[in-house]
Each structure stands twice: as structure tokens, then as C-alpha cells.
Amino acid sequence: MGTPIADILDDYSVNRCEDTMNRYEEGHLFVAAVRVLRHQLGAPPSLEELCSMLGISVEAGGATCRSLAQQNILEMIEDPFSVKVIIQDHLLLEELPDFRRRKRAKSVI
């Protein structure tokens, strides 16, 4: 009839723990964090606030934000005291590579 829930949960936990996040998942994480902080702060978050929320270094967060900015997903706006991060076009996230999603799609076919 259907797949037992235990099998689904086992598959989910295996897929979640395979490696680190891929670019697709990381992009979604950064965009979601910008949205949450924008809601909480009532203004675009700084790079430091974004990295603090995600628990990563400013250097690593800056590199990811720059990469997402080059792809027009995020925009980084510099003011004299900080760098603010805003969402430019979240739909472009779907163009990021997601090898796990492709692997799952192939297994369905």
C-alpha cells in the first residue's frame, strides 16, 4: 500500500546527514535568515547579524553572501559602518545545483 513511516524517516535522516549542505540548501538557509531578521529587526540585517544568527564566521558568511550576490539572489549594500544584506531575487535559488534533489528525482524515474 504505502511506505511505512519508519522507512521514510530513516531515508530522511540518511539524506540529511550525507555531507555538509550543498549550495542549494545553503542558499535557501541564507535567504530564510535574511527574511527572519528583516521581520525581527524591521530593517535589512547586517552581515554580522546574519552570521550571528546562523552561527558562522563573518568571513564564511561574507563569502557565501558575495557568491549569492554575484548570482543576483542577494544584494549587499555597504554603508559607512556595516554591510546590509537584502534579498534581490529569491526565485534564482532554484537555479543553484542540488545534487541530492537530482539523485532523488532519478531514483523516482
pLDDT digits 0-9 by tens, 20-30: 788 999 999 99
Share of the chain above pLDDT 70, in %: 72
pTM value? 0.72
User: What is the Cα–Cα distance from 35 to 6, expressed in whole angstroms?
Assistant: 33
Give residue 9's pLDDT.
47
Average pLDDT (60-74) is 96
Cell, residue 32: 530564510
CA 40 to centroid of chain Cα atoms: 18
Q: Are 28 and 18 spatial neighbours (Cβ–Cβ below 8 Å)? A: no
Q: Tell me the sheet residues that pair with 85.
A: 76
Domain layout of the chain by residue ranges: 5-108
Give residue 73's pLDDT.
95
> Is the domain covering 5-108 a CATH 1.10.10.10 domain?
yes
Average pLDDT (25-46) is 96
